[in-house]
């Protein structure tokens, strides 16, 4: 499932984040790349130990916690602390698949990467190129979203970032270990949750809707990996 989640950040959060990122002390993006990814990764990244990085992480994590669409789609168990990158001057990231597990930078626990997310801080008209291209069974999907919006997709997907030929593409990226490991099951639960929400808005809590809601939670209970 590939999902566009709009307005993850408030205008105030976006403005503050852009200010912090404009003053960022960037480093080589290969600091967090795996062996294969490092061969095709050309970008800049904000080191996680910096005060500005920790402030940005906390802001993004708070935004995720209040976002019902993110929760429904990702069903998060653990969110890897958000990272921040910059592409400019022809930088790109060739085809790759994200590492299956990552070591949490602050408590050294292992996080399985089920869901990948990119949260945009640059507006689309501020740079040329830089599209996130995700490949799945339905073909190629090119993603370039407004600042403050986020795309979510399975971490098993082959993907790349096209070269940035003008301006700078600045974004946050991170992974989520989901309570539901399997993407097809997450997609089914997400579709059910969205349908239940629409039916509730249209008809209220009918007896049939209560039964559907019970089915949703029983499936979640059956499949959840806690």
Token representation of residue 209: 């809707």
169 belongs to an annotated ligand binding site:
yes
96 belongs to an annotated ligand binding site:
yes
Nearest C-alpha neighbor of 129 from the set 77, 93, 166, 154: 166
Cβ 117 vs Cβ 154: under 8 Å = no
Quickly count: other Cβ atoms within 10 Å of residue 105's Cβ: 15
CA dihedral 109, 114, 120, 125 (to 10 degrees): 150
Start-to-end C-alpha separation, the chain? 22
4 belongs to an annotated ligand binding site:
no
Pairwise CA distance, residues 107 & 174, whole Å: 16
159 belongs to an annotated ligand binding site:
yes
Token representation of residue 182: 């399997």
Cβ 82 vs Cβ 8: under 8 Å = no
Please report, in range form, the residues annotated as the binding site for Fe cation: 96, 98, 159
Please report, in range form, the residues annotated as the binding site: 96, 98, 159, 169
Please report, in range form, the residues annotated as the binding site for 2-oxoglutarate: 169
């Amino acid at each position: 499932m590939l999902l566009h989640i709009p307005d993850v950040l408030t205008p105030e959060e976006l403005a503050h984040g852009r200010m912090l990122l404009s003053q960022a002390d960037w480093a080589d993006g290969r600091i967090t790349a795996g062996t294969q990814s490092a061969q095709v990764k050309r970008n800049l990244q904000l080191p996680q130990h910096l005060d500005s990085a920790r402030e940005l992480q906390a802001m993004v994590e708070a935004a995720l916690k209040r976002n019902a669409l993110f929760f429904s789609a990702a069903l998060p168990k653990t969110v890897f602390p958000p990272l921040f990158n910059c592409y400019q001057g022809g930088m790109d990231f060739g085809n790759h698949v994200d590492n299956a597990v990552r070591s949490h930078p602050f408590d050294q626990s292992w996080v399985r990467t089920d869901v990948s997310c990119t949260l945009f801080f640059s507006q689309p008209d501020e740079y040329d190129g830089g599209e996130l291209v995700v490949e799945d069974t339905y073909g190629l999907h090119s993603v370039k979203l407004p600042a403050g919006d986020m795309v979510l997709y399975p971490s098993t997907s082959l993907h790349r970032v096209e070269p940035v030929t003008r301006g700078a593409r600045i974004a946050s990226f991170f992974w989520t270990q989901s309570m539901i490991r399997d993407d097809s099951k997450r997609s089914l639960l997400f579709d059910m949750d969205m349908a239940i929400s629409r039916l509730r808005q249209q008809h209220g809590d009918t007896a049939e809707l209560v039964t559907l809601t019970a089915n949703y939670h029983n499936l979640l209970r059956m499949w959840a990996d806690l």
